[in-house]
């Protein structure tokens, strides 16, 4: 079955960067877009962007342009989302989501930004 396993929780200081990984299994990794979604505490879901694991091309929401980078390593079926110049309002749970026709979500990675 399709499964996404994300890296563990992170605590970062303002201005730092964080890189979250998402290891995929159960399907052809290069065949489907990988999306990244975040959820701030007590808030709704926010789509951040997506990467085409086959080509490496990515699309980002404008508010994250210049701060987010989505990459992948096809040899280990893993996608990455790196967010730089972290602020306190980046504190959230970050999810990877693969759309194989219907979405499958990772378990989420909590990123806490605090001085």
Residues that bind other proteins (CB under 8 A): 35, 37, 44-47, 49-50, 59, 61-62, 95, 101-108
Smallest gap, in angstroms, from Cβ of residue 115 to other proteins? 26
Nearest distance, CB of residue 20 and other proteins, angstroms: 14
Residue closer to other proteins by CB (options 86, 104) is 104
Question: CB of 74: closest distance to other proteins in angstroms?
Answer: 22
Please state, in angstroms and rounded to a whole number, the distance separating the CA atoms of residues 41 and 83.
18
101 DSSP 8-state letter: S
Residue 22 β-bridge partners: 6, 79
Q: Are 36 and 50 in contact (CB under 8 A)?
A: yes
Nearest to other proteins of 53, 106 (CB atom): 106
Residue with smaller CB distance to other proteins, 17 or 48: 48
Q: Report the nearest approach of other proteins to the CB of residue 112 (Å).
A: 16
Distance CA 70, CA 101 (A): 21
Residue 38 CA to residue 46 CA, distance in Å, equals 5
């Amino acid at each position: 079955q399709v499964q996404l396993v994300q890296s563990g929780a992170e605590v970062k200081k303002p201005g730092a960067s964080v890189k979250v990984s998402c290891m995929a299994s159960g399907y052809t990794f290069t065949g489907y877009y990988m999306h990244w979604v975040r959820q701030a505490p007590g808030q709704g879901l926010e789509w951040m962007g997506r990467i085409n694991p086959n080509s490496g091309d990515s699309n980002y929401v404008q508010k994250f342009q210049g701060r987010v980078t989505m990459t992948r390593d096809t040899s280990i079926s893993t996608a990455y989302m790196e967010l730089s110049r972290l602020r306190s309002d980046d504190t959230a749970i970050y999810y990877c989501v693969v759309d194989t026709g219907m979405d499958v979500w990772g378990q989420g990675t909590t990123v806490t930004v605090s001085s």
